[in-house]
């Protein structure tokens, strides 16, 4: 179905973007990931953005490597891997021809993605208008329409409320209680109790509100701002979930893949 020249540029390499990338790659598409210089990745074990720090990672059987430029990225693609480049403004998109551009930054606003960037431009979540600044929008809110293709209009507004797991929502989220450099005490995969210290910022201890497994945690040594999300606890306590793509990311990835297949079949 896919031409050997079909390359999808994905802006963003966080956990949701990585679910998209994973589905596209497994469907036979070539994918190039564009990230910022220092991404604040929380679910590091399932985020291709982690390549910025580790140079090479593997997410559920797919290897991603850091590329220094476009030509290097093509060589990585030829090795059947996913290249990740530092390109926060999408300059590579303007210099090279991509069949599809996917904005999966999930900034809740459009950070510069335009419909003329490629024959098919897809925006994930709120902040995009299908038919105006992008061709297609994919619904990112949990619920009945998660992963739905929107050809006209916008996705639902961000609720600001984390997804509920076993009755817990905001309680799952770990947030910085002050500004400063974080020292991680309990990293991804650690089993924790409620009111347990998982990190410190200076003398300030950051404690959990519920028991479970630390599913996401920001990099040790990162400068954080008070109120910033720095991690999350999964009350189910299943360690394997820390290292596998979420149901939400897979659903959104399915919507992106459907939109691309529909476009290419007509083309």
Same domain as 198, residue 153: no
Same domain as 47, residue 17: yes
- Per-residue confidence band for 3, with pLDDT thresholds at 50, 70 and 90: low
Same domain as 149, residue 55: yes
Q: Domain for residue 15, yes or no?
A: yes
Same domain as 154, residue 32: yes
Same domain as 220, residue 152: no
- Per-residue confidence band for 178, with pLDDT thresholds at 50, 70 and 90: very high
| Average model confidence (pLDDT) across the chain | 94
Q: Domain for residue 262, yes or no?
A: yes
Q: Domain for residue 241, yes or no?
A: no
Residue 221 has pLDDT above 60, yes or no: yes
Residue 151 has pLDDT above 60, yes or no: yes
Same domain as 196, residue 75: no
The count of domains in the chain is 2
Same domain as 208, residue 76: no
Cα separation, 58 vs 56, in Å, equals: 7
Residue 168 has pLDDT above 90, yes or no: no
Residue 100 has pLDDT above 80, yes or no: yes
Cα separation, 150 vs 130, in Å, equals: 7
- Per-residue confidence band for 161, with pLDDT thresholds at 50, 70 and 90: confident
Q: Domain for residue 188, yes or no?
A: yes
- The per-residue pLDDT for 2 is 55
Same domain as 115, residue 17: yes
- The per-residue pLDDT for 199 is 97
Residue 147 has pLDDT above 90, yes or no: yes
Same domain as 121, residue 208: no
Q: Which domain CATH number covers 213?
A: 2.40.50.100
Mean pLDDT for the stretch of residues 50-58: 97
Q: In what order do the strands lie in the sheet with 180-184?
A: 204-207, 197-201, 180-184, 223-224
Same domain as 210, residue 98: no
Cα 33–Cα 188–Cα 105 angle in degrees, nearest 5: 25
Q: Domain for residue 74, yes or no?
A: yes
* CB neighbourhood size of 45 (10 A): 19
Residue-wise pLDDT tens digits, 10-39: 999 999 999 999 999 999 999 999 999 999
- The per-residue pLDDT for 248 is 95
Q: Domain for residue 1, yes or no?
A: no
User: pTM for the full model?
Assistant: 0.94
Residue 190 has pLDDT above 90, yes or no: yes
Q: Which domain CATH number covers 254?
A: 3.40.50
Mean pLDDT for the stretch of residues 212-225: 96
Q: Domain for residue 116, yes or no?
A: yes
Residue 62 has pLDDT above 80, yes or no: yes
Residue 257 Cα distances to 41, 54, 67, 136, angstroms: 24, 28, 24, 12
Cα separation, 229 vs 248, in Å, equals: 19
Same domain as 140, residue 27: yes
Same domain as 108, residue 13: yes
Q: Domain for residue 163, yes or no?
A: no
> Which domain covers residue 198, as residue numbers?
170-235
User: Can you spell out the DSSP letters for 135-150?
Assistant: SEEE--SSSTTTT-EE
- Per-residue confidence band for 1, with pLDDT thresholds at 50, 70 and 90: low
- The per-residue pLDDT for 166 is 79
Mean pLDDT for the stretch of residues 186-214: 96
């Amino acid at each position: 179905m896919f031409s050997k020249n079909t390359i999808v540029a994905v802006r963003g390499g966080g956990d949701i973007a990585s679910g998209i990338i994973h589905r596209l790659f497994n469907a036979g598409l070539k994918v190039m990931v564009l990230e910022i210089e220092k991404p604040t990745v929380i679910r590091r074990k399932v985020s291709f953005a982690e390549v910025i720090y580790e140079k090479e990672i593997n997410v559920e059987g797919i290897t991603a490597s850091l590329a220094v430029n476009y030509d290097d990225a093509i060589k990585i693609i030829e090795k059947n891997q996913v290249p990740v480049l530092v390109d926060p403004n999408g300059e590579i998109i303007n210099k090279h021809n991509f069949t599809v551009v996917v904005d999966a930054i999930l900034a809740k606003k459009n950070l510069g993605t335009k419909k003329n960037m490629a024959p098919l431009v897809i925006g994930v979540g709120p902040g995009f208008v299908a038919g105006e600044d992008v061709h297609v929008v994919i619904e990112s809110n949990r619920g009945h329409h998660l992963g739905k293709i929107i050809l006209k209009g916008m996705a639902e507004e961000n609720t600001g409320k984390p997804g509920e797991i076993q009755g817990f929502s905001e309680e799952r989220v770990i947030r910085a209680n002050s500004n400063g450099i974080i020292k991680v005490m309990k990293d991804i995969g650690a089993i924790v109790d409620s009111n347990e210290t998982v990190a410190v910022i200076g003398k300030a201890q950051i404690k959990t509100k519920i028991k479970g497994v630390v599913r996401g945690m920001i990099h040790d040594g990162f400068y954080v701002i008070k109120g910033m999300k720095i991690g999350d606890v999964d009350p189910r306590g299943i360690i394997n979930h820390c290292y596998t793509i979420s149901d939400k990311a897979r659903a959104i990835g399915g919507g992106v893949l459907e939109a691309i297949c529909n476009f290419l079949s007509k083309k």
